[in-house]
Every structure is written in structure tokens, then in C-alpha cells.
């Protein structure tokens, strides 16, 4: 069974997992043997942008392991999961693909229908 995980919500619940929760879930599913592809769309295309992820200090408390979406994408790729990012959603946000990590491969909106056809289940998060 081929699964396409479409990630749209971005930077939510990162205090919980210290990751994006759906990228985390994708990695866990991949580790469990899932044949999985990730498609970043909407605000989640920001995960493909090269970024620094500083620690967060709140009073005396410091969160030492902030979310590292670039690393999550790279580790998904290293595990054999394809990662795509919607080109037009990058364009709409003024993000040049030169600023993006190599782990995420741009895909045009017109190509998404083909991508959907190539998968048995589509999970839109």
C-alpha cells in the first residue's frame, strides 16, 4: 500500500514532539515499513526552506531540542521516502527554490493529480 502524506499545517504542536508532529509520524510510519511519500503544501512549504532552529528559553526553562524540519526531511529521504514541495506554494510566498533544501523536490500543481494516482491512500494533514 502506497501512502501519500500531504502536510499543510505548519509549525503547530512543535512544543509537544519537538518536531512537526506529522513529519514525526511519517518517520515513525516509514520505520514501521510504510511505503510513504510526503508532499508539502500551503504553509508547510516553509519546512523546505533552509532554516536555523534556535533553542527556546522561557524563564529558567530552555527547550534544548527545537523542531528541525530540514533534518526531518533529510532523514525521510535517507530512509527512502520521496519528499515533494508544491512549487506554486513556494512562489506565492516569495520563496526562491535556491533557498530550499535538496531533500524536497519541487512539483507543479498540475503534476499533483499524477502523484495522487500513484498512491493507494491519500492522507491530508
Partner 1 sequence: MAQTLTVAIMDAPYEAAASTTAFRIIASALRKGIDVNVFAYEGAVSLTMKGQAPHANPVKGTTVEEEDHPTTKDIVSALVALGAEAPRLTWVNCGLCVDERGAGDWIDGVKRGGPADFLKMAEGSSATLVIPTK
Pairwise CA distance, residues 121 & 15, whole Å: 29
Q: What share of the chain is helix, strand, coil (3-state, %, to 5)?
A: 40, 25, 35
Interface residue with partner 1 among 55, 62, 114, 121 (CB under 8 A) is 121
Pairwise CA distance, residues 13 & 20, whole Å: 7
- Phi, psi of 41, rounded to the nearest 5 degrees: -140, 170
Q: Which CB atom, from 22 or from 100, has the smaller least distance to partner 1?
A: 22
Contact 76, 30 (CB under 8 A): yes
Considering only residues 11-40, where is the footprint of partner 1 by CB under 8 A? Answer: 12-13, 16-17, 21-22, 25, 28-29, 32-34
Q: Which CB atom, from 16 or from 118, has the smaller least distance to partner 1?
A: 16
Dihedral in degrees, nearest 10, Cα atoms 117, 118, 124, 125: -160
By CB under 8 A, residue 10 contacts partner 1: no
Q: Which CB atom, from 17 or from 111, has the smaller least distance to partner 1?
A: 17
Q: Which CB atom, from 19 or from 100, has the smaller least distance to partner 1?
A: 19
Q: Which residues bind partner 1 (CB under 8 A)?
A: 1, 3, 9, 12-13, 16-17, 21-22, 25, 28-29, 32-34, 121, 123-125
Amino acid at each position: 500500500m502506497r501512502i501519500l502524506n500531504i502536510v499543510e499545517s505548519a509549525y503547530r504542536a512543535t512544543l509537544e514532539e519537538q518536531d512537526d508532529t506529522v513529519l514525526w509520524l511519517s518517520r515513525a510510519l516509514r520505520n514501521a515499513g510504510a511505503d510513504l511519500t510526503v508532499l508539502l503544501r500551503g504553509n508547510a512549504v516553509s519546512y523546505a526552506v533552509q532554516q536555523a532552529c534556535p533553542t527556546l528559553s522561557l524563564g529558567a526553562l530552555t527547550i534544548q531540542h527545537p523542531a528541525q524540519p530540514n533534518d526531518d526531511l533529510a532523514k525521510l529521504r535517507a530512509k527512502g521516502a520521496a519528499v515533494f514541495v508544491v512549487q506554486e506554494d513556494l512562489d506565492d510566498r516569495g520563496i526562491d527554490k535556491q533557498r530550499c533544501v535538496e531533500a524536497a523536490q519541487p512539483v507543479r500543481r498540475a503534476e499533483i493529480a499524477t502523484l495522487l494516482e500513484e498512491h493507494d491512500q491519500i492522507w491530508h494533514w
